[in-house]
Chain A
Amino acid sequence: MATVNRKWTDGMLRTEDWWAVWLGLTMFFAGLLTIWGVDLVGWMTKTKTWEWAKFWGDPSFNKLLAGSHVKEGQAYAGLGGFGSLLVTYVVFTTLTCVGAYFQKLDVKKFFFGFTCIFFITWTAWIIGHEAHFKALKTGQSITQSEIYGDNVYCTTKVNKCSAQINKALNGLGVNVMAGQVPTQEQAAQAVAKSKNAILMSWGLQLGGGFSYMLALAVGLVIGNFFKGFANFLREGAKPEWFIKTAIVYLGIKLGLMSMKATGFALELALAGAAACFVAYLLFWPIVYAMGRKVFKLRRDASAVLSSGISICGVSAAIATAGAIRAKPILPIAVSMLIVVFAMVELVVLPTFYAAVAPEAPIVNGAAMGMTVKTDGADAAAGAILDEMMVANHYRTTGETWEADWILSAAILTKIWIDVFIGVWAFVLALIWVYKVERRPDQQHVGASEIWFRFPKFVIGYFIAWLFYVAIAVWFPDAIKAASSGAGVVQSPMRKMMFMLTFVAIGVITDFAKLKGMGRLTALYAIALFVVIAPIAYLVAWIFHNGMVPPLAAG
């Protein structure tokens, strides 16, 4: 049975892009029901920061995992860590298998592949949350180590820990908010009373980013050294689907963040759009000219590669190849290149940007969005950069940037690029059909081509974002109730989809695929690191310079 896009509704049930929307909006609406007191998402499990010695003293899943709404009086009270993990597995496996069925994937293979990836993901996530890797020092331990000691770490958000310690000191008669300074003994007592402060002789303070890097490393090891196992997992390894679903969930997060910082969110979105427009106009012609003049590539190869490198990776390569009617083998070859290079960027760029420009978080995020091709790798790189920069900034200044703004900058610029690809491919198609390959028999390009190439997950992202902005504007009394469900979807669910992406993207990346692609590989590497990355950074700097995330509420 052939798969041809004919009507505008074609693909709604069979493409991963639409299934990201369905999966995203299913959980979005489920989360929204908390406004009316119905909790359909509180079973979602989330990781806890745990400490090795304490865990082995009394091993329990409840020290590693917890449901989202399982406290006394909440909808899923009593559902333990293991129970919530199983419910999470059942719900997401069922939903993704339904999606796999409609996408005409091999459901049996998908089920087994997804199951393995799911548990590999959670294992990596749990290990990444061990306190020696993840926990950050408390604010007191950074700024007043002579009183508190420099070995006080926090197993939750550092602001929360600081507040707990200050509250305990208040109970001891020391009001630090009024400028009173505790003695070392009082400080030690307050730390002991704080539920989330722990003492450790060492800690790497890597924050949540360590889990992402670990998941990626595990995926890459499987993809490159256990190729038989990687093939077994391949049907269930759908990083683009997972990340697009996560991006829809991120729309909720952006909605919630917009409630607090509407102006900043709007500025970020507009700056991202402007930056992408400028980048498009610079990247494509430069890389195309390089391909033609320096590397002597054919016109079609140069066009496909230019779009792949300079626009949105695989998606752009396929769209451009289709627009210029190239043989399908061309985008397939270029796509292999893009997927492998995206992985290199994902590994190198977050660390590089964080080290080189620690005070330019939003510039870094936006540059990431314009440099890293494929949505999965970009969102993954943005997430690592976000975790890394927030943790670094906190370590050096004791000041906490609100999480996820850097990630949002990376995703917003990428989304604008994705949105524009349909229009760009349409323009290319017109040029190719009516000018480059002009023939006496009449060929026509339908405007429907723009719609078929439009990234549909973006619809889910904007619905989620604007819905929460609308709640804030028109129903401010419902914000608290709405945030309860939204918090589950945008945090543990979204992060799980990110983690699944990290493992899956590693599994499908086989560096050996670069063999035999010498000229294309050389052009890609030069264009990416000599042209795209520097120009992207310059454009990001022009449009985002001076923007920093708001400080997290204390």
Chain B
Amino acid sequence: MKADVELNLVHDGENWIARGGAVVAVGETLHEVDASVTHALRDSGVFPLGSSVTVFMGFDFDTIPTWLRQYHAHYFNRYITVNL
């Protein structure tokens, strides 16, 4: 699936953080992150207001401790569609 914006997603123990280019979105839940992404994209002015933007969030597997990575190599990726 093609995305208009690509972000890296991590979890710092308390919050989810999505980062990419000028966008930094933080939230305790993914729902909050999504809202934060919408605001950040709206504020960036890159996309016209009223447009629909597909955002890819790829989980940065480096967040998982090294000893655990040998068991599995993927957490999750997600796509959201936000209406600006």
Contacts and interface: CB of A to CB of B under 8 A. Distances in A.
Given A323-B76, A443-B79, A328 B11 contact: yes
Contact of B79 (A5, A17, A240, A446): A446
Given A6-B58, A439-B31, A335 B76 contact: no
A445 B78 contact: yes
A313 B1 contact: no
Contacts of A239: 70
Contacts of A323: 76
A238 interface: yes
Contacts of B72: 314-315, 318-319, 453
Contacts, number: 109
Interface in B14-69: 30-31, 34, 38, 56, 58-69
A318 B73 CA distance: 9
B72 to A, nearest CB: 4
Interface in A223-249: 234-235, 238-241
Contact of A322 (B38, B75, B81): B75
A318 B8 CA distance: 18
A325 B27 CA distance: 14
Contact of A5 (B31, B74, B78, B83): B74
Interface in A201-255: 234-235, 238-241
A138 interface: no
Contacts of A321: 75
A335 B71 CA distance: 9
Interface in A427-470: 429, 433, 439, 441-446, 448-449, 452-453
A446 B77 contact: yes
Contacts of B79: 443-446
A206 B76 CA distance: 46
A15 interface: yes
Interface string A1-36: 011111000010001110000000000000000000
Contacts of A517: none
Given A4-B61, A332-B64, A448 B77 contact: yes
A444 B34 CA distance: 13
A314 B69 CA distance: 10
A318 B69 CA distance: 10
A261 interface: no
B80 A322 contact: no
B27 to A, nearest CB: 12
A325 B78 contact: yes
Contacts of B69: 15-16
B58 A5 contact: yes
A241 B70 contact: yes
A374 interface: yes
A105 interface: yes
A452 B73 contact: yes
A131 to B, nearest CB: 36
Nearest to A433: B78
B24 to A, nearest CB: 14
Interface string A316-347: 00110111010111011001000000000000
A368 interface: no
A5 B59 CA distance: 8
Nearest to A455: B72
B64 A318 contact: yes
A16 B67 contact: no
User: Which residue, of B60, B74, B81, has the highest number of chain A Cβ atoms within 10 A?
Assistant: B74
A505 B80 CA distance: 40
A164 to B, nearest CB: 44
A325 B71 contact: no
A508 interface: yes
B73 A240 contact: no
A328 B70 contact: no
A241 B66 CA distance: 13
Given A441-B34, A441-B81, A443-B79, A329 B13 contact: yes
A187 B51 CA distance: 93
B35 to A, nearest CB: 8
Which 9 pairs, one residue from A and one from B, show the smallest C-beta to C-beta distance? A4-B58, A322-B76, A314-B71, A452-B74, A322-B75, A442-B81, A15-B73, A444-B79, A318-B72
8 contacts: A5-B74, A241-B70, A325-B30, A328-B75, A329-B13, A441-B34, A441-B83, A443-B80
